[in-house]
Amino acid sequence: MKQLILAFILSCSFAAQLLAQAQSDPLAEARALINEGNAKAAIAKLQSLPDSKEIRVAHLLGVAYYHADDLPRAIETLAAVVDKLPPDSVERREAVQALGLARYMAGHIAQSIPFLEQTLVWAPNNNELTYALGMAYIQTRQATKARESFSRMFRVANDSASAHLITAQMMIRLEIHEAAEAELKQAVEKDPKLPQAHYLLGQMAIYHARYDEGIKLLEKEIALNPGAAMAYYKLGDAYTRQLKWDEAVAPLQKSIWLNPYYSGPYILLGKTYLKKKNLSTAEGMLKRAIQFDPNNKSAHYLLGQVYQQTGRAEDAKREFAMAEKLQGNLEKIEQ
């Protein structure tokens, strides 16, 4: 993301002048190395200069650290020089921008906000920066400012139902469910027919084991948007969680008919038919799920159960082993 965000700086006349001087100016040569994606070589060159602590050198060294993904050094170096750079200069703007993004990516969310806000003053239409700032506002529980950022980014009115919906979707990505639910309720209040809002509310209700509430919300979404494959899928999911296998079949089938390339409904239908002792149909559904998602451990495990119940011990052993392997791989990734 950072390469896109900083592109407007590196294409300015300042960078062009430095590149033209690259044969005689070590700073221009270091800048050229950064532009070429060789930030580590730029760092080595800048560190070798006798005046490596001089403000222009330190500024460019901080930028190089940023491009080399050495965020702690980028933050330390840029924080020491940013206020010493000439106001409104390209160098100052670059330092502010890189420092804000470095702090954001390093997890210093609150500290990144003032720098990102400064950057958007001179780059108001930069979507990547607006996105980072909006996500930072969410993580610091500033819902109103987050909504302002996302409404500007998506070109919708700040007080509209759509702005609340978009902000809620971003909150869900960060698993900040309580705030997302509040945004969605405001969206529905402002526009009861807004697509996706009831679906997301239903999805969260199911996540929190409020199944009856989730079912009602999903049914509302389907009434507004009968082509919503994911709403049918989550409706079937809610019924399986309630062990209502017969009720689960129809919405899961509809989900597949609307979107035949997503493994989720096949897995739940496979589980449903397994519970209903319709083993041949369960096998077909689970094999189709694995076709679309070969690394889904649940699909392999359920297929192993089908094979076990149909007396195919070797096939069952193979599928259980695969499910165990995939679970092990997942645990390694999470560590």
pLDDT computed for residue 17 by the predictor: 46
Q: Determine the distance from the C-alpha atom of residue 161 to the mean position of all C-alpha atoms in its chain, rounded to a whole number.
A: 22
Q: Across the chain, what does the average pLDDT equal? A: 90
Q: Quick check: helix, strand or coil at residue 86?
A: coil
Confidence of residue 138 (pLDDT cuts 50, 70, 90): very high
Cα–Cα distance list, 330 to 298, 316, 327 (Å): 12, 21, 5
Nearest to 293 by CA among 318, 249, 317, 323: 323
| Token pair recorded at residue 28 | 């221009």
Tell me: the pLDDT tens digits for 68-81?
Answer: 999 999 999 999 99
pLDDT computed for residue 3 by the predictor: 53
Q: How far apart are CA 179 and CA 192, in angstroms?
A: 19
Nearest to 118 by CA among 142, 84, 156, 83: 83
| Token pair recorded at residue 305 | 């159960």
State the average pLDDT over residues 46-63: 86
Confidence of residue 102 (pLDDT cuts 50, 70, 90): very high
Cα–Cα distance list, 321 to 257, 292, 318, 327 (Å): 31, 19, 5, 10
| Token pair recorded at residue 320 | 């259980």
Tell me: the pLDDT tens digits for 143-174?
Answer: 999 999 999 999 999 999 999 999 999 999 99
Could you tell me if 61 and 43 are in contact, meaning their C-beta atoms sit under 8 angstroms apart? yes
Q: What percent of the chain shows pLDDT beyond 70?
A: 90
More confident residue, 33 or 261: 261
Q: What percent of the chain shows pLDDT beyond 90?
A: 76
pLDDT computed for residue 216 by the predictor: 98
Tokens 């070109």 sit at which residue?
Answer: 155
Radius of gyration of the chain (CA): 27
State the average pLDDT over residues 90-104: 93
Could you tell me if 18 and 24 are in contact, meaning their C-beta atoms sit under 8 angstroms apart? no
DSSP 64-83: HHHHTT-HHHHHHHHHHHGG
| Token pair recorded at residue 117 | 């806000």
Tell me: the pLDDT tens digits for 7-28?
Answer: 444 434 344 444 444 445 888 8
Please name each of the domains of the chain with its CATH number: 1-106 (1.25.40), 262-335 (1.25.40.10)
State the average pLDDT over residues 81-102: 92
pLDDT computed for residue 26 by the predictor: 83
State the average pLDDT over residues 285-301: 96
pLDDT computed for residue 13 by the predictor: 39
3-state helix vs strand vs coil in the chain, percent to 5: 75, 0, 25
Could you tell me if 239 and 271 are in contact, meaning their C-beta atoms sit under 8 angstroms apart? no
Residue 103 has pLDDT above 50, yes or no: yes
Least confident of 8-17, 64-73, 187-196, 261-270: 8-17
pLDDT computed for residue 208 by the predictor: 93
Q: How far apart are CA 18 and CA 262, in angstroms?
A: 51
